[in-house]
Amino acid sequence: MARSLGLAAYLAVARRQPPRLTEIDCPRPKGVVIWVHSTDPTRARTLAKLGSRLAGLRGNAHVLLTTPNDVPFTQTVPTGVIWQPCPSESPADIAVFLAHWRPEIMIWLGSTIRPGLIDAVRTRGVPSIMLEVHRPKLDQKRRRWGPEPIRGTLSRFNTIFAQDKATAVRLRKILGDRADVKVSGTLMEEAPALPVIESDLDELRRCLAGRPVWLAARLQPKELDTVLSAYRAVLRLSFRMLLVVVPDNASDAQAMRKAINEDGWRVADWDNGDFPQENTQVLFSETPEELGLWYRIAPISFVGSSLISGAGGRDPLEPAALGSAILYGPSVRRYLGSYTRLANVGAARIVKDADSLTAALMFLAAPDQVAAMAHAGWQVVSDSAAVSDMVIEHAQMLMDAQEELI
């Protein structure tokens, strides 16, 4: 496909940029490299998870994640994902980057485009997908090069996934009816269902025999007093309720177990083989490794590491995927997008202290309220999986077609 006049003019100016990238210290892994780029660093983890899912389906595949080179990147990424800053628009930098990584596909998230880089990807025959384009804009607009290069750059993608029908219509007007534009919705972070030992699940359900249960998961030591104070207040209304406590770090387990016992609670220690008795008040589980069991057992989960500043919150999609209504504190910056989506549909409720946690637990004493929150959370997880499934299926098709040409 010939370049547009606008794109050609842009590339002519980009050639004047001095190179800054002479070599790449990070070695390229053997096998397939799936390159994902997020123009918004806060969405990088979401995109990296999609890349990891795709890599798992390809075999001997690895994920390369890039974010803008002029924005600090502080997010944690899934295990095995390689992070690198995106190269500049200098043709020399782009050539070094692509020659080193040799990606089999590029998946681009966001409306901010890099015409030189995107054009070079297409020129090398690497299939590319763009996600969540809304109002496309240039990464840098120091001055105009003449005709706008946006249309020409968008046409270099094999496929563009629009967030809604209105955006898709606008893109088809820009690119023409032949453009491969699909409506997908918003890409959201996924949470595969955590595993469980079915025999433990069955035995616990028989043991509990319909007792109300709530979970305080991934708890920091400084959050324990708040949780126990709220629990003490709720027991006046629901004296059979059982609290399951799971620390965020196994290293804190001994001190937290001791604090619970010294506070006078009747405790069953799961890691010592204890099952809750009728008079058990707290079931203590030492590590987060069995959260797949506890999220299935507890209709209500307070997701900890969220009441104190600095911990950053923990993934709320894990309990949502397993049908648990979610309570959480205000310090969830690491997963703010996920909590916001869940809160907006009524699947999660914020609490700030023992009093508000007590009020939330009392509100959720009504089974219909718990069921409504749990269903809303499950719907969010299902919707996010549907978008990922669509993108991954199409990426697989492009990669398979590319392999047939080689």
Under 8 Å between Cβ of 81 and 65? yes
Sole residue written with tokens 């202290």: 353
Check residue 137 and give its pLDDT.
76
The tokens of 273 are what?
């083989």
Check residue 81 and give its pLDDT.
96
**What does the alpha-carbon distance between residue 247 and residue 378 come to, in Å, rounded to a whole number?**
25
- The residue among 35, 40, 28, 60 whose CA lies nearest residue 50 is 35
Domain with CATH 3.40.50.11720 in the chain: 5-187
**What does the alpha-carbon distance between residue 338 and residue 49 come to, in Å, rounded to a whole number?**
14
The tokens of 288 are what?
């987060």
Check residue 324 and give its pLDDT.
97
Check residue 286 and give its pLDDT.
94
Check residue 133 and give its pLDDT.
83
Residue range 198-382 in CATH 3.40.50.10420: no
The tokens of 237 are what?
């209304």
Under 8 Å between Cβ of 219 and 245? yes
The amino acid sitting at 142 is R
Angle, CA 55 vertex, CA 54 and CA 57 arms, to 5°: 70
pLDDT per residue of the chain (406 residues) written in tens, 0 to 9: 556 777 888 888 888 888 888 889 999 999 999 999 999 998 898 999 999 999 999 989 999 999 998 888 877 788 899 999 999 999 999 999 999 999 999 999 998 999 999 999 999 999 999 998 877 776 655 444 445 788 889 999 999 999 889 999 989 988 988 899 999 888 887 777 899 999 999 999 999 988 999 999 999 999 999 999 999 999 998 999 999 999 999 999 999 999 999 999 999 999 999 999 999 999 999 999 999 999 999 999 999 999 999 999 999 999 999 999 999 999 998 888 889 999 999 999 999 999 999 999 999 999 999 999 999 999 999 888 889 999 999 999 999 998 877 6
The tokens of 184 are what?
């997908």
Domain with CATH 3.40.50.2000 in the chain: 198-382
H/E stretch holding 388 reads helix 367-405
* HSE of 157, CA atoms in CB hemisphere, 13 A: 28
pTM of the entire predicted model? 0.77
Rg (CA), the chain: 25
- Sign for the CA dihedral angle at 277, 280, 283, 284 comes to negative
The amino acid sitting at 75 is Q
**What does the alpha-carbon distance between residue 100 and residue 114 come to, in Å, rounded to a whole number?**
19
Exposed e or buried b per residue across 247-270, where buried means at least 16 C-beta atoms within 10 angstroms of its C-beta:
bbeeebbeebbeebeeeebebbeb
Q: How far is CA 171 from CA 114, 137, 157, 175, 238, in A?
A: 18, 13, 12, 6, 56
Check residue 135 and give its pLDDT.
77
Check residue 144 and give its pLDDT.
47
Given 2.102.10.10, 3.40.50.11720, 3.30.70.260, 3.20.20.140, which CATH number is that of 5-187?
3.40.50.11720
109 strand-pairing partners = 38, 131
Check residue 260 and give its pLDDT.
98
Residues 6+ apart with CB under 8 A from 325: 299, 300, 301, 347, 348, 349, 364, 369, 370, 373, 374, 377
From the CB of residue 138, how many other CB atoms can be counted at a distance below 10 Å? Answer: 18
From the CB of residue 15, how many other CB atoms can be counted at a distance below 10 Å? Answer: 11
Q: How far is CA 222 from CA 283, 294, 380, in A?
A: 19, 21, 31
Check residue 249 and give its pLDDT.
96
- The residue among 375, 343, 395, 405 whose CA lies nearest residue 56 is 395
Q: How far is CA 142 from CA 13, 58, 70, 87, 210, in A?
A: 11, 41, 15, 18, 65
Beta-strand (E) ranges in 156-293? 159-162, 181-183, 213-219, 242-247, 267-269, 282-284
